[in-house]
């Protein structure tokens, strides 16, 4: 038995950051990880990072097709093909490198790594591989798994989840994707560009349902026009027939019927991992599988914190990391350390979807702003007239600003287009009452850059954009 000040269960971007912060504050810290492959959690091993390596390959593959347009001659692009085995090899190499980086961080900060399944026993006790450890404070960061649907269970062969598809070494001839959220549209974008026929099925009335309506509609148009995708919103798959070499999907809704495909990807969200981890031995409360917490990530069990995908906050790696810092700092403060935890402002969480075109957003959608009672005015400006967008060959999409008409406060910024996931980072300072539409109009941006679209969108709020 070993005694620690802090034990963190789960080494994803929330868990390992929490462990580092706890150690920095002087706590004797341990990090528990069950995955024999190593540290990093879903984000590194089966989620964010692997998916982005696939997306980068697809982006470069698409760029190669336009080499002649950019003045690069004598390249026979007709002979290009996607080598999925090489993509998987590169993905594994990047995952391994980043995993080693996390291991180094643990050693540098003197965090003890406990390998095995961690389970709560109550009273500040955690069992790992039959060895019981004690901790004054515990942070749960057990993450999530792909959500399964009754009757549409995945098998890793023809019916896949996001874990399975990252290991594919043969290109699907026809991939049907159920779920048009961030994960679904990212894989749709990837495999359409690599050469698969893609059908995208979404039960809600738009793709990426959490995004502004205009963004979802624009994405559907670009997917259909540029990648010849079959987009079916307000539609669901009710039944799947499986055979050795194909699947038949039965659809109901606005675009019902049957579709014969080589593979189906079930991408309907993720479920929190809160079963079989010993929560029944504590006073922690659950709400539909998520741990109830306060603003400092504390559960109803004294000394037990929960962060990341197991709490009802946005399932995003950067959110989990910030929550890990808050929990570790609060734990340290309660143990007498001079720490200053600050609750997270979830109204200013940036969202990123890495399909092509990319999507970045922060703040309220137009619909949400109206539902909150704001008198709303919006400005929307396309990337098409912007010199930089044309230089890089991606003059598609737009930026949309949602503003309060009375005070000019910027309530939300929604971007679909080139480098949107990078552009949204510079949007954060514009949200939250600290910036108005007029101030954004009067902000100077360098030329030629994609950032020049910001003041143009602000001028569009008043109907006086300069570049149109």
What pLDDT, on a 0 to 100 scale, did the predictor assign at position 73? 87
Q: What are the pLDDT digits (tens) for 362-421?
A: 999 999 999 999 999 999 999 999 999 999 999 999 999 999 999 999 999 999 999 999
- In this prediction, residues 271-295 reach a mean pLDDT of 97
Each residue's pLDDT tens digit, 7-38: 999 999 999 999 999 999 999 999 999 999 99
* Whether 343 contacts 330, CB under 8 Å: no
Arithmetic mean of pLDDT, 289-316: 98
Give the angle subtended at the CA of 179 by the CAs of 173 and 184, to the nearest 5°.
60
Is pLDDT above 60 for 468?
A: no
- With cut-offs at 50, 70 and 90, classify the pLDDT of residue 240: very high
Model confidence over 35-64: pLDDT tens digits?
999 999 999 999 999 999 999 999 999 999
Task: Decide if 447 is catalytic.
Answer: yes
Which residue's entry shows tokens 């004598």? 74
pTM of the model: 0.94
* CATH for the stretch 3-146+272-334: 3.50.50.60
* Domain ranges (residues) in the chain: 3-146+272-334, 159-268, 357-461
How far apart CA 297 and CA 304 sit, in angstroms, is 9
* Same fold: 3-146+272-334 with 159-268: yes
Q: What is the pLDDT of residue 444?
A: 93
- Arch. (CATH architecture) of 357-461: 2-Layer Sandwich (3.30)
Residue 143 is predicted with a pLDDT of: 97
350, two tokens: 């940036």
Per residue in 144-175, pLDDT tens?
Answer: 999 999 999 999 999 999 999 999 999 999 99
> Quick check: 12 and 37 in contact, CB under 8 A?
no
Topology (CATH) of 159-268: FAD/NAD(P)-binding domain (3.50.50)
Q: What is the mean pLDDT of the chain?
A: 96
Residues 31, 4 contacting (CB under 8 angstroms):
no
- Mind listing the pLDDT tens digit for each residue in 80-135? 899 999 999 999 999 999 999 999 999 999 999 999 999 999 999 999 999 999 99
């Amino acid at each position: 038995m070993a005694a620690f000040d802090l034990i963190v269960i789960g080494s994803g971007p929330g868990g390992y950051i929490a462990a580092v912060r706890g150690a920095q504050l002087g706590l004797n810290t341990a990090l528990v990880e069950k995955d024999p492959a190593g540290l990093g959690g879903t984000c590194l091993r089966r989620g964010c990072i692997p998916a982005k390596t696939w997306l980068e390959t697809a982006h470069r593959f698409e760029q190669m097709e336009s080499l002649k347009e950019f003045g690069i001659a004598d390249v026979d692009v007709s002979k290009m093909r996607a080598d999925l085995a090489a993509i998987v090899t590169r993905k594994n190499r990047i995952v391994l490198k980043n995993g080693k980086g996390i291991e180094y961080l643990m050693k540098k900060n003197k965090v003890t790594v406990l390998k095995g399944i961690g389970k709560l026993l109550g009273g500040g006790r955690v069992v790992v591989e039959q060895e019981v450890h004690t901790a004054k404070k515990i942070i749960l960061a057990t993450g999530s798994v792909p959500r399964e649907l009754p009757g549409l269970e995945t098998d890793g062969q023809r019916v896949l989840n996001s874990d399975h598809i990252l290991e594919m070494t043969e290109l699907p001839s026809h991939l049907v994707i159920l779920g048009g959220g961030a994960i679904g549209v990212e894989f749709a974008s990837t495999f359409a560009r690599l050469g698969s026929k893609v059908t995208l099925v979404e039960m809600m009335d738009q793709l990426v349902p959490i995004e502004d309506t205009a963004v979802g509609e624009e994405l559907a148009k670009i997917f259909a026009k540029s990648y010849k995708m079959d987009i079916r919103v307000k539609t669901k798959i009710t039944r799947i027939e499986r055979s050795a070499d194909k699947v038949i999907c039965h659809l109901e809704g606005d675009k019902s019927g049957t579709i014969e495909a080589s593979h189906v990807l079930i991408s309907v969200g993720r479920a929190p991992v809160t079963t079989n981890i010993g929560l029944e031995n504590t006073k922690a409360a659950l709400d539909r599988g998520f741990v109830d917490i306060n603003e400092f990530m504390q559960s109803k069990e004294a000394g037990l914190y929960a962060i990341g995908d197991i709490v009802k906050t946005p399932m995003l790696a950067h959110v989990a990391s910030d929550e890990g810092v808050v929990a570790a700092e609060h734990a340290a403060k309660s143990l007498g350390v001079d720490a200053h935890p600050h609750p997270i402002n979830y109204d200013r969480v940036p969202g990123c979807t890495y399909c092509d075109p990319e999507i970045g957003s922060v703040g309220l959608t137009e619909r949400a702003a109206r539902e909150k009672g704001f008198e709303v005015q919006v400005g929307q400006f396309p990337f098409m007239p912007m010199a930089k967008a044309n230089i890089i060959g991606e003059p598609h999409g737009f930026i949309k600003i949602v503003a309060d008409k009375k005070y000019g406060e910027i309530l939300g910024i929604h971007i679909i287009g080139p480098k949107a996931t990078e552009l949204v980072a510079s949007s954060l300072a514009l949200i939250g009452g600290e910036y108005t539409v007029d101030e954004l109009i009067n902000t100077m941006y360098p030329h030629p850059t994609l950032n020049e679209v910001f003041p143009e969108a602000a001028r569009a709020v008043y109907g006086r954009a300069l570049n149109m």
